[in-house]
Amino acid sequence: MKLNIASISEFVIGDAQADRVVPPTGFTATLTLFSAAAMAFLAVFALALSLAAGRLADRWGEELARTSTIRISAPDGQMTAQTEAALRVLQTTKGVASARALDEDEQRALLEPWFGPDVPVDTLPIPQLIEVVEEGDGFDAQGLRLRLSAEVPGAVLDDHTRWRRPLERAASRLRLLGWVSMGLIGAATAAMITLAAQAALAANAQVISVLRLVGARDDYIANAFVRRFTLRALTGAAIGMVAGALAILLLPSADAGGGFLTGLGFRGWHWVWPLFIPLLAAAVAFAATRGAALRTLREMS
């Protein structure tokens, strides 16, 4: 069968007479509809997981890659002087866009998730943090470390490399997991529809025998089954996709303190992606049913 617009539209519009030659089958119709709907529902979540993981990986990668932190540990009397010295060094460092010392409120906010609100930052021996934002190709970390060790003995440069890489790796794995899940869902859909199609073909062995007796070609017989299963899968997957998208919509919205799970969903044009799930399900059903039908017809010869 040549795959072009004309053949696709001919397939979708169908042949009313040809559709009637295969009697309607109850349980295989329900099985196909239900499995396509369930799989599409799961696929929406797998897709959302994958896209959210992708966003997370990009965000972590970008945010952590463009910033560094300098931690200054010094005796009480020297903290301000060392902080100012470090800022002076940074002002003259090539590749540094800006640098600023975090104030008490910002440091308190960083500690809040672990120690709770109202942390007495001023009474705790915590280091002063300086946020460094990079520009262009960034700065020479090794060179900056040498300058800091010479001019600000209590300063330690953290360019986030040791955090960024595992986080990026974790997010990438999560994204891969999402796509693998999509693949598994597609394979499971194909397997279930193949089984349903084979059951329908076996149940209609007598119909196939009559059709062959009157000169039906294998393509004609296969198409009668393929079109029916493809349209059922398309309908079931559309229902499942809408249900999945609604469920995603009803998830708590992402906010600053929400973390990863509340960020699970689609943003902007990413809402277009779920629309492809029913089409993909129909394509999987088409290939699975056609393969099963032609194989079964060959075996029935």
Helix (H, G, I), strand (E, B), or coil: what is residue 130? strand
207 binds another protein (CB under 8 A): yes
188 binds another protein (CB under 8 A): no
26 binds another protein (CB under 8 A): no
User: Nearer Cβ to another protein, position 22 or 36?
Assistant: 22
Instruction: List helix spans (H) across the chain.
Output: 5-13, 16-21, 26-66, 79-91, 104-115, 141-151, 161-203, 205-213, 218-249, 276-300
Side-chain half-sphere of 95: how many Cα atoms within 13 Å?
A: 12
Tokens coding 170: 């974790």
Of the listed pieces 17-25, 50-58, 124-132, 239-247, which binds another protein according to CB under 8 A?
Answer: 17-25
Could you tell me how many residues of this chain bind another protein (CB under 8 A)? 22
Of the listed pieces 47-55, 90-98, 216-224, 229-237, which binds another protein according to CB under 8 A?
Answer: 216-224
216 binds another protein (CB under 8 A): yes
1 binds another protein (CB under 8 A): no
Q: How far is the CB of 286 from another protein (least distance, A)?
A: 21
215 binds another protein (CB under 8 A): yes
CB 145, CB 41: distance < 8 Å: no
Q: How far is the CB of 244 from another protein (least distance, A)?
A: 36
CB 131, CB 71: distance < 8 Å: no
Of the listed pieces 3-11, 13-21, 39-47, 237-245, which binds another protein according to CB under 8 A?
Answer: 13-21
List, in order, residues 6 or more apart from 274 with CB less than 8 Å away. Answer: 44, 47, 241, 244, 245, 266
Q: How far is the CB of 234 from another protein (least distance, A)?
A: 24
The residue from 6, 13, 23, 122 that contacts another protein (CB under 8 A) is 23
Tokens coding 59: 């965000």
Q: How far is the CB of 297 from another protein (least distance, A)?
A: 8
211 binds another protein (CB under 8 A): yes
Q: Taking Cα atoms as reference points, which of 163, 145, 180 lies closest to residue 63?
A: 163
Residue in the block written with tokens 């060392």: 82
Q: Strand runs (DSSP E) across 169-248, as ranges? A: none
CB 65, CB 262: distance < 8 Å: no
The residues that touch another protein, with contacts defined as CB under 8 A, are 17-18, 20-21, 23, 206-207, 209-220, 297-298, 301
